[in-house]
Chain A
Amino acid sequence: MLELVDVTKVYPGGKRAVDGVTLRLEPGLIGLLGPNGAGKSSLMRIAATVTRPTSGTVVFDGVDVVARPDVLRRVLGYLPQDFGVYPNLSAREFLGYLAAAKGIPARTARRHIDHLLELVNLADVGRRPLGGYSGGMLRRVGIAQALLGDPRVIIVDEPTAGLDPTERVRFRNLLSELAADRVVLLSTHIVSDVESVASDMAVVAGGRLRRRGSPEELLREVDGLVWEVLLADPADVAEVQARHVVTRLVRTPGGVRVRLLAAARPYPGAAAVIPDLEDAYLALVDPRMHAATEVVRR
């Protein structure tokens, strides 16, 4: 349906943000994970036709949308990481303007704006100027605009930033529901945002696609690489951190319980534990673990 083929983006100044990424997206929710500066947002902007790739193509339903972006834009819902609003317009007016920009007929637009404002819990304040909205409310306006026009492709970049826990869960569930018959690409660096809803994950680091697979497949890659050890002397923590990828630290009365990644048992008292997705993610993005995950993979 939507396919990024060998996409590279080099910004003025030489920064290679995306480096030869190929990604085929079918209906379903795909979580795009990666550390800050990994190239996620650049990749999202390229997929959303906002940024033209330096090389490579983006194909939607067989059409090159780098050359003809409107083909995708007409069926796209996009929520960028940072965006603003016109402060003197109400949410209803703002969404009305964006609906017109998408070419949605007036009556349909009114009906869908009503529905979307209810969906994001802003129906009561929909006529107030956006300048008076809190950050979380503005984020929900952003979510509503991304759903305008019954999009077939939804691309959302860090969508839950600034949402309270209730709204965060609501939005995750909403995306999961929408993904039944749409392409939903969700970018985040918060693993918990995708682990409960994504059937498919892509991990990027350094502008490259490190891994693509289901959560189960990613978990299998760190099988036997996750350990827990109790350090009696807190002063040892620094040394452990220097030698290993530490995924969690918990201070207890008996010392510091450290969860870490290692190819083999790192300390005599270390116990192997069942990996979770955060362990898998950290193993994939930390260069120190690349060799170990390759061995497990083979």
Chain B
Amino acid sequence: MTAKRAVARRGPAQAARTIAGLALGDFRDRVRRPAYLVILAAAVGLGYLAVPEPDSRWAVLNLGHYRGLYTSAYVGMATALAGAIWLTLGGFYVVRNAIARDAASGVGEVLAATPLRTSAYFAAKFLGNLLVLGSMLGVLAGTALVVQLARGESTAVDPVALVTPFLLIGLPMVAVTAAAALLFEAIPPLRAGPGNIVWFVVWLAIALGGQSPHAPLGGIGVHPVAVSMREEMVARGIDPSGQEFSLGLTYRDRPLRTFEWSGFDPDAAFVLGRVGLVAVAALLALLPALWFGRFDPARRAAPVPEPPAAPEPAAALPEPPAVRRPALAGAGARRGVAAGRLLAGELRILLQGVSRRWWLGALAIGVVAAVAPAPAVAGFVLPVAWIWPVLIWSRLGTQRHEYGVESLVAAYPAARLRLLAEWAAGAAVAAATGAVPLARMALAGDRAGVAAWCAAVLFIPAFALALGTLSRTHRLFQIVYLVLWYGAVNGVPVVDYMGIVRDGGGPAGPPSGAIAGLAVALLAVVPVIERGRRAGSVPGRR
């Protein structure tokens, strides 16, 4: 009886130790990469941005023309809410490769051959994701304390008021993010680029719908906070009607006025909702255990390349192991002689594996551009035409590394010409998908639109190539470009690289020359990044 109890007790304890050990290993592997320091720096930056200078016109959190005085309660809440919103977006892309890393390193296959249960594997990965995002949240909390003291509106530090928002609002949201990242990785259609785009849309829904009083499990948890702030305003004789609660990142015409907010006293229902959200996140994270293939190539959804049907020629060769002298004479390399074929090769590489659906989509966009009314071409069809290839552009600068071809071509001549050909391939995609809108703008005599179009064709692939070379992942360009595109589509002139935000008929955004200049500058930076990488490369590390 005693022995049975001991076994029963040892089971869950052993499983918990295994999960904790795996999660810790995962966390260590991630935090020892240089990219982690960049991530933490981003968290510090977000903390700084959440509590701007008193005379600043940027605001992450405001009630109309008002904000709270920078007390521990307000600084903690503003920073935690900024984290809840922005870590949900950025954090997803940070932790989005938990399973992919195991697959690429071969560790997954090793784990698959151990008695580790699939659910325990997912629990560990969820915990690993949570630790990474939690550490960012921790850095945000530390930054909040420093910023509160630096701003100097209140030097009285209340640790409980400062930290509670991170636990009740930030943590549940990063738990949801950690789980969603894992879930997306385990669903084949969402595993790669399309998942990154889908998450951006999901995030928009969370950021907007999550602030609603009717959001499930309290959503982001912002509604009771807004109510509490309004009550405080009333108590202090400020009329809150017309003072809209805003969370995100907005630019104000003039600095915000202040009121003192004494803090938020969460009731039991609110706390239960938060705990419920974490529980739902944990369940979501464990869900893929139902179908996950444990790194078995035979169970992958995507077809594994089959070996050729014919036996390997070597096996069928009756001849003795002798060779003819290779007839290679006259095949000498000549400088610049093959630029056209190089471009064709880069185009082939860029477009490799693109599905028929993508081509049909591009064709449909072209047809719509041909028949749409003139104002809709620049305002609607062109942005659609230039979001459609985002996954293709995000390959620029990454594929040589991704497929391990880098080690081969590093010893080939004309590295700059290759880079130029790669950029030109991206520009060709931009020109092709935007060709019909260009023709319409040209026919309508929209010179400014044509100039902006030309600048964008130079800029988009240069931007993709620079970010891809820098990060060696598709994700950075996918998310930064999406944010840029979303801003332009929503009429933010400063990020309008397509010339679609118009002011009196002409583009309201940066001049086309500036966009083209930026493209040239980005192109010039790429070889520098490559050289830096090569100088700092350590053997065996990819």
Contact = CB atoms under 8 A, between A and B. Distances in A.
Interface in A63-100: 69-70, 73-76, 78, 80, 82-89, 93, 96-100
A168 to B, nearest CB: 8
B33 interface: no
Interface stretch (A45-53, A209-217, A243-251): A45-53
Interface string B318-331: 00011111111111
B342 interface: yes
A166 interface: yes
Given A12-B536, A102-B413, A103-B334, A97 B327 contact: no
B348 interface: yes
B323 A170 contact: yes
A131 B405 CA distance: 13
A159 to B, nearest CB: 13
A74 B408 contact: no
Given A73-B412, A100-B338, A103-B413, A108 B330 contact: yes
Nearest to A84: B404
Interface string A110-154: 011001100101111100110111101100001001011110000
A106 interface: yes
Contact of B305 (A12, A98, A119, A129): A129
A256 interface: no
B535 interface: yes
Given A98-B408, A105-B337, A105-B338, A132 B330 contact: no
B235 interface: no
B237 interface: no
A109 interface: yes
Given A41-B539, A76-B411, A103-B333, A166 B314 contact: yes
Nearest to A148: B331
Interface residues of A, number: 77
A94 to B, nearest CB: 9
Contacts of A132: 305-308
Contacts of B307: 132-134
B407 A11 contact: no
Given A48-B411, A51-B537, A150 B328 contact: yes
Contacts of B405: 83-86
Nearest to B307: A134
Given A74-B335, A124-B310, A134-B307, A89 B414 contact: no
B114 interface: no
A101 interface: yes
A50 to B, nearest CB: 4
A115 B328 CA distance: 8
Interface string B394-411: 000001000111011111
B330 A106 contact: no
Nearest to B352: A88
B360 to A, nearest CB: 19
A84 B400 CA distance: 9
A170 B321 CA distance: 5
Contacts of A98: 408-409, 412
Nearest to B399: A86
B312 A52 contact: no
Contacts of B326: 115-116, 119, 147, 174, 177-178
A273 interface: no
A96 B341 contact: yes
Contact of B403 (A69, A87, A148): A87
Contacts of A149: 328, 331-333
B332 A78 contact: no
B474 to A, nearest CB: 15
A45 B335 CA distance: 23
Nearest to A54: B535
Contact of B335 (A75, A80, A103, A136): A103
Interface string A165-206: 011011001100110000000000000000000000000000
Contacts of B317: 121, 166
A102 B313 contact: no
A239 interface: no
Contacts of B353: 87-88
B214 interface: no
B231 to A, nearest CB: 56
Interface string B336-351: 1110011011101100
A170 B324 CA distance: 10
B9 interface: no
B538 interface: yes
Contact of B323 (A50, A52, A84, A177): A177
In the complex, the 6 A-B pairs of residues with the closest C-beta atoms, listed nearest first: A84-B404, A97-B345, A88-B352, A169-B321, A78-B411, A131-B305
15 contacts: A48-B411, A49-B410, A50-B407, A52-B534, A69-B413, A82-B404, A86-B352, A87-B305, A88-B352, A97-B342, A99-B341, A108-B331, A116-B326, A124-B313, A129-B305
Interface of B: 305-308, 310, 312-315, 317, 321-338, 341-342, 344-346, 348-349, 352-353, 399, 403-405, 407-414, 418, 534-539
